[in-house]
Structure 1
Amino acid sequence: MTDRLNGISVFVTAVGAGSFALAASRLHLSRSAVGKTIARLEQRLGVRLFHRTTRSLSLTDDGALFYERCLRALEEIRAAETLLESGKREVSGRLRVSMPVLFGRMCIAPLLTELAREHPGLELELSFNDRVVDLIEDGFDLAIRNGELANSSGLVARRLGNHRMALCAAPAYLQRRGEPQSIEQLAQHDAVAYVRAGVVRNWLIPEADGVTREMMPGTRLQMDDLQAIADAAVAGFGIAWLPCWLVRGQLIKGELVRIMRDRPGLFFDAHAVWPQTPHLPLKVRMAVDLLASKLPANMELIEAKPVG
């Protein structure tokens, strides 16, 4: 019976992946093992499940009928497992999470590894990537996304906290160039700019009346890595516009100083998103609950107290 269920799971994964090679990657098997499992399943059933060519994989009519029933059966099995899990506090199984590279490494991964330490049966697979992944197609249980959510049909989202953006510079730079007190003065300074896809990203500066100004001073340095921008700002190359969670250590040490503090802050939301399902797996629920409770403290603004 176990072999039969394994074959069905491999079959369903292969259909969703669209190829044996991608299914093998998701299942942590070899492509040959996936092909042999499908062949044994076809032999047992006495039908062909796939039309195979060197470039494509598609279901036969029999395969489509079988897939519909298999998918329904596996969903019922997962629902039953979730109901049993709901009465336990011990998390087990593999949890695949996608997250932005720097934010994930600094703020998300430490919390999830803490969860894994508390639950020895939990296996973590963390993917650090700044692209927006397709959770279902790429086989992720959970993803962390920043900013406005897009293409979220079929997904459930929960807000985890927000990124507060800050204009900051090294004390030595401000001593040399002076501290700007207005947008007009800020425009006369050097900036360390963030570049993405070859485009310099302008700064968004909120005004007291609720209007957000978009601007960018002259740029001495342009980089596509936020950590490198923070390092350049500490080195005195100019003013940078960065999330507070990234530079909180430098602000606490006094290596960077936040400027134009009297202006309203600009915030971007951080969300956890996961595929919509009738019964949320315990491993996903506990991961999201942990992030929602502890992530805000990892993102809040902390800086050195002014002298005097």
Structure 2
Amino acid sequence: MRTNETYTPDRLSGISAFVAAVDAGSFAGAAQRLHLTRSAVAKRIGRLETRLGVRLFHRTTRSQHLTDAGQTFYQRCTKVLAELSEAEDELSAGALTPMGKLRVTMPVQIGRQCIAPVLLALAGTHPQLRLEMAFSDRRVDLIEEGFDLAVRSGRLDDTPGLKARPLGEQTMLLCASGAYLAANGTPQTVEDLADHERLMYGRGANLYQWPTLPRLPEASAATRRTPRFVLDDLVALVEAAELGLGIACIPRWVAMQSLSAGTLVQLLPQTYTPGTPLHLVWPDTRHPSPKLRAAIDALVGAVPALLGMP
């Protein structure tokens, strides 16, 4: 077991000297920033390399640049020093005020419509809070990529080192335009859907399967049309439905505006369509920061209504 000597001030000073040398581009520049001699900076970095057992810099008489190990170590060190700085700021402000940079990753479309507005409103009430929001449908590694919080749609993986909190459910609705229904008839049962044009969400062979369709009898399933339209954008899917090109299965939060405007009509409202869960996920820490707690509380308080949940 390692003892507390692992975290001595000398070790932290070595890390500070290393980061300063990278940021300044030279040992001399780091010495100027830290108010030390160039020799003192070099000694601290040398002791750090000895403890780590790796070389952090390639050095020549004219230049220095990071090794691969040095680059990896630099990325981790800058994050640690930034967190220490933010911890000091929080304590000096009473440890209750959301402040510093909060990095959040979220799916593109639900992020734009339901998540970002809540976080921007939160930042508006806390001037010392800085936001960095990444919109991507890719499953991000929070710890590896340095995010404080993620919004995830769908079933969660059992990932160690992460905590989660339910944010709501994305109820799916079957919708079509009045023009499409006038031309093709209104389905009265789930089985009737097999004979209608389906607007599918997905990419290539990865299509979102409507929750109602797997229960269709074999005879009806055999007559099911091959989808003519496959789109990987929910806004475009709504537009296609409004143009009368077919029936779409879309989340309630996407459909609400069109249903209110009358450009889409909900079909088979009595048919239960299982929802897709939405969660907040963040790295497990003993004491979540005020900025993280404030963001979680704001999202849990506002997003269910934006999803159209009762």
| TM-score range relative to shorter protein | 0.7 to 0.9
Instruction: Tell me the residue number matched to 2:46.
Output: 46
What is the letter of the counterpart of residue 260 of structure 2?
I
Q: Distance in 2 between matches of 1:112 and 1:168?
A: 30
Determine if contact 1:10/1:34 at 8 Å carries over to the other structure: no
- The 1:284/1:55 distance shift into structure 2, 3 A limit, reads same
Q: Distance in 1 between matches of 2:178 and 2:17?
A: 59
Q: Distance in 2 between matches of 1:165 and 1:10?
A: 55
Gaps of 5+ in 1: 15-28, 207-211, 303-308
- The 1:85/1:156 distance shift into structure 2, 3 A limit, reads farther
2:306 partner SS: helix
What is the letter of the counterpart of residue 251 of structure 2?
P
Q: What TM-score comes out, normalization by structure 2 length?
A: 0.74
Instruction: Tell me the residue number matched to 2:268.
Output: 260
- The 1:33/1:261 distance shift into structure 2, 3 A limit, reads same
Determine if contact 1:79/1:279 at 8 Å carries over to the other structure: no
What is the letter of the counterpart of residue 127 of structure 1?
A
What is the letter of the counterpart of residue 145 of structure 1?
R
Q: Distance in 1 between matches of 2:266 and 2:142?
A: 37
Identical aligned residues as a percent: 41
RMSD: 3.7
Q: Distance in 1 between matches of 2:17 and 2:201?
A: 43
The alpha-carbon deviation at position 57 of structure 1 amounts to 1.7
What is the letter of the counterpart of residue 224 of structure 1?
D
Alignment of 1:101 with 2:108, yes or no, is yes
1:184 partner SS: helix
- Larger CA Rg, structure 1 vs 2: 2
Determine if contact 1:85/1:282 at 8 Å carries over to the other structure: no
Count, aligned residues: 269
Q: Distance in 2 between matches of 1:9 and 1:174?
A: 68
Alignment of 1:243 with 2:247, yes or no, is no
Alignment of 1:205 with 2:195, yes or no, is no
The alpha-carbon deviation at position 81 of structure 1 amounts to 5.0
Determine if contact 1:141/1:275 at 8 Å carries over to the other structure: yes
More strand by share: 1
Instruction: Tell me the residue number matched to 1:57.
Output: 69
- The 1:180/1:226 distance shift into structure 2, 3 A limit, reads same
Deviations 1:120-144 (A, max 9, x none): 1110000000001011111101010
Determine if contact 1:95/1:284 at 8 Å carries over to the other structure: yes
Q: Distance in 2 between matches of 1:118 and 1:110?
A: 13
The alpha-carbon deviation at position 194 of structure 1 amounts to 1.2
Alignment of 1:172 with 2:176, yes or no, is no
2:297 partner SS: helix
Structure 1 stretch 111-120 or stretch 80-89: which is displaced more? Answer: 80-89
Q: Distance in 1 between matches of 2:259 and 2:191?
A: 25
Q: Distance in 2 between matches of 1:85 and 1:225?
A: 46
Instruction: Tell me the residue number matched to 1:130.
Output: 137
Instruction: Tell me the residue number matched to 1:224.
Output: 232
Gaps of 5+ in 2: 1-10, 32-40, 59-65
Instruction: Tell me the residue number matched to 1:160.
Output: 167
Determine if contact 2:154/2:277 at 8 Å carries over to the other structure: yes
Q: What TM-score comes out, normalization by structure 1 length?
A: 0.75
What is the letter of the counterpart of residue 23 of structure 2?
A
